[in-house]
Chains A and B, each alone.
Chain A
Amino acid sequence: MQLSEKELGGVHILLIEGRFDAHTSTPATEWLEEKSASTGARIVINFSKTEFIDSVALASLVSAMKRCRQTDGDVVLCELSKPVKIIFELTRLNRAFQIYETEVDAMVGYGI
């Protein structure tokens, strides 16, 4: 798994390339934990290059989203690849997260 991060207008954006699963999730999970620890953290996860996601990875996203929402922040998702989209639909977590077609839409969603 490869991570590319950037920050735009106070929004933390993470692009996850490759597999995001129990065996590879630690760096992304640690990144999520670090960013979501700030009050009102606004995070975008870009899944356009994510080949696979499992329930362990989903759990780390849910935890980060909960932490962010407790302080009026959020974790939103964008550009879900097909395998990622299937897992979100299977777990119905697509209804709990805000999901955008593009990274730009996600930024607009944050009012950037």
Chain B
Amino acid sequence: MLSDKLRIAVVTTFPPGTGSLNEYGFHFVNALRQKFDDVSEVLLYVDALPDGEAYPPFEPDSGIPTTIIPCWEFDALNNATRILKTARQTKPDMVLFNLQFATFGGKKISASLGLLTPALLQMWNIPTVVLLHNIMETVDLKSAGYAGNGIVERVLRCFGYIATKLLLRAELVALTIPKYVEILESKYKADNIVLAPHGSFDDTVHQPVFELPEGPMQIMTFGKFGTYKTVEPLIEAFEKLQRRPNADLELVIAGSDSPNAKGYLAGVAEQYKHVSNIRFTGYVAEEDVPIIFGEAAAVVFPYTSTTGSSGVLHQAGDYGKAVILPNIGDFAEVITEEGYTGEFFEPEDVDSLATAIANVIDNPDHRRAIGQQNFLASHGIPIAEIVDWYLLHMQTLLMQKPNRNGPPTVDRTQLA
């Protein structure tokens, strides 16, 4: 058997940090902390909170001992060396990265330098697994706010290619969508790519509640806004819907600015202050997420492009919600592959969006049917079981390579 249970470090954003993928990081780490048979300690390499704020410690009896180590900062240029230093000091058996391309920075240089980290750790013989939520090949860089013109886009694609090559220096790169695996395998000729489903956040299977609360019917959108998630067309569609007779609606814009678009939502609120019944919630704390989703009649994805499978879609599915989705080739394909469905609209087309929302909120049976299918899709595999897959991969990898502190003692029957 592996002579010891694993000490696993996870490089991730984590609540109350508000960086992208913090929700995924939260659920993944919470599931990992319950793997008492396989894991002895979890080290969280998280980004430092603003103003020196401290992460709340985990309750002692809530799972495997977990140490929170804020060792990198969004947009800092030296994140790779800081994480390397932390890893060399704390000596985990494996480092797992919960990543997308802008995890380490909203600026091109900081984001790119951060992506060097897995390769750097590998050079120091620290095994790494990368969970990559998006791939550069399917991101619309212009819509995502990273490329203003064609030349910049070409340069970024080139950097993206190099960054992907470097990420592929990890022992294993996990992707959540079969199509992404095919793209990377064929383009980069890589043989260390693995498909690992996203997983359901809510591991307590419960029947969703389709009845809505008293009061105005809530149309909700959730996320970090300002780059490829823009709410202007949604607000204008909402205005149209409000003009209908007997409309009793509320638009809930739940979430905060994208790190790449600071001040975006404040600007929108000012621009549309004449529109009634809009509620900007700001950052939604973990405990408020069930309320926000539970009260919504429909969840709208006002995206102009996508960067991969949507964590928000999985959450909407967890709560059995009908969703209104942009008709973007990649996104539609991805969600269909995952078993989800929804009402589709043409991106940035206000009339199309208003019609799609109306189709859902005017037809309770249709709303319920979409919600039910999404509920079933999201409850396919709890994230706790996906964590098992990662642990299996890690154990297999460690079996195959000499240990930094001496060879592992391996008994295959204990690889569980």
Residue numbers of A with Cβ under 8 A of B are 22, 55-56, 59, 62-63, 65-70, 72, 74, 90-93, 95-96
Contact = CB atoms under 8 A, between A and B. Distances in A.
A65 B381 contact: no
A69 B389 contact: no
Interface stretch (B104-112, B131-139, B194-202, B225-233): B194-202
Given A55-B381, A90-B178, A91-B195, A66 B388 contact: yes
B402 interface: no
B195 A96 contact: no
B269 interface: no
25 contacts: A55-B197, A55-B381, A56-B380, A56-B381, A59-B385, A62-B389, A62-B392, A65-B416, A66-B37, A66-B388, A67-B416, A69-B414, A69-B415, A69-B416, A70-B37, A70-B416, A90-B181, A90-B194, A91-B194, A92-B172, A92-B195, A92-B393, A93-B392, A95-B396, A96-B393
A63 B388 contact: yes
Interface in B388-416: 388-389, 392-393, 396, 413-416
A72 to B, nearest CB: 5
Contacts of A68: 416
Contacts of A74: 413
Chain B interface size band reads 20 to 34
Nearest to B178: A90
Interface in B228-248: none
B48 interface: no
Contacts of A65: 416
B401 to A, nearest CB: 13
B165 to A, nearest CB: 20
Interface in B139-168: none
A22 B380 contact: yes
